[in-house]
Amino acid sequence: MLRVWRVTTGFFAAQLPSSAGQEGREPKTVLNLTETVRSSLDKGEAVIVVEKGGDALPADSVGETADIYTPLSLMYDLDKNDLRGLLGVREHNPMYLMPVWYNSSPNYAPSSPTRGTTVQEKFGQQKRAETKLQVSFKSKIAEDLFKTRADLWFGYTQKSDWQIYNQGRKSAPFRNTDYKPEIFLTQPVKADLPFGGRLRMFGAGFVHQSNGQSRPESRSWNRIYAVAGMEWGKLTVIPRVWVRAFDQSGDKNDNPDIADYMGYGDVKVQYRLNYRQNVYSVLRYNPKTGYGAIEAAYTFPIKGKLKGVVRGFHGYGESLIDYNHKQNGIGIGLMFNDWDGI
C-alpha cells in the first residue's frame, strides 16, 4: 500500500544485527526512494512516497519474511519498531573480550606533530601480547520522526588495550582506552540496486572519539558522517563518509594529521554464513596518502548465547594512540550472541 505526501523540504537521515522484540509491532512505513524520485519528476514538486514495510511480503511466506527482516532491518528497526521501545539497551558495534591479542609491532613511542613523543614506561616496556576488550551499545531516543519515520539514536563504544601479561614495575597497565559517543539519525528507504541488491537505509550522525589522556598522550577528533545500508541477500554493505568538525586548530589540535591515516570514510561488510556464523570486514583508505587499514573477523557459536570471535587487523589506527603507527594484530575471544554487529 503506497502513500504519497507532498513536502517543501526533506531530510534523509543512519547504520547493522538482533532478532528480539519484533513481533507484535505494526510495520513501519518505508520511504520508497525509486517512486519518490519518479513522482517528484513527474509532478515537478517534492513528493515523498512511502509504503508499509510488511506489505511487500505475503504474510504466510516464511522465507520471504526472513528476507525482509534481515539483520540490518532488525538492528535499526527499518521495517518494524522493536518492542523494547525507547531507551532500551541495544547492540551497536561488536562487543567482545579477547584474552589474547598479539601485536606484531608495538608502538613503543607514540607521537603526534603537536604533542611530540610519549616516553612513558607503559609504552616503552609493553609486551606484544595483551588483552583487548570492546563494549558497545546504542539506545533509541526518538522514533518515527517526521513523515518519513526516521529514528534518532545514541551510541557509545569503548575499546581498551590491557597489558595483562606485563608484570613489570607497573603491573598490568591499561595501555590505551578510546571513548566514542555518537548521536545519529536513521531513515528507512527502499530502492533497487544492481545485481539484485536493495538500498535499505540512509543516515547521518555526529561522533566524538578521544582517549581521555593529558598531554602528550592526548588524542581526539570529532566527525560528522553520512552513511547508507545496502543488502545483496546475505551480504550487507555499509559505506560511510565523514568530515572533521568542531576540532581545535593549530597547536590546540591533538592530532592535526589524523585524516592522513584514518581517511575520510570506511566501508563495512558483513556476510552471514548461517544463522550464527558471520564474517565481517571494515576497510579504510586515503588515496591521497596511501594509508589505510583493514579489519576482518569471523564469529562462530560456542554454547547457548556465547559466541567465539577471531579478529585480525592490518594498517593504521587500531587505536587513537596508534593512529599514525602501522601494525598487524590478531586475536581470539568471546562475544554474546547478537552483539556482533558492525
61 carries an active-site annotation: no
Residue 273 gets which letter from DSSP?
S
CB 327 within 8 A of CB 116: no
Nearest to 197 by CA among 10, 342, 70: 70
Point out the catalytic residue in the list 111, 160, 210, 281.
210
Integer Cα distance of 93 and 137 in angstroms? 7
Integer Cα distance of 177 and 219 in angstroms? 11
208 carries an active-site annotation: yes
Q: What does the block give as the cell for 221?
A: 577528533
- Taking residue 9's Cβ as centre, other Cβ atoms within 10 Å add up to 5
Report the b/e string of 140-176 with b at 16+ CB within 10 A: beebeeeebbbbbbbbebbbbbbbbebeeeeeebebb
Point out the catalytic residue in the list 40, 160, 208, 314.
208
The residues annotated as belonging to the active site are 208, 210
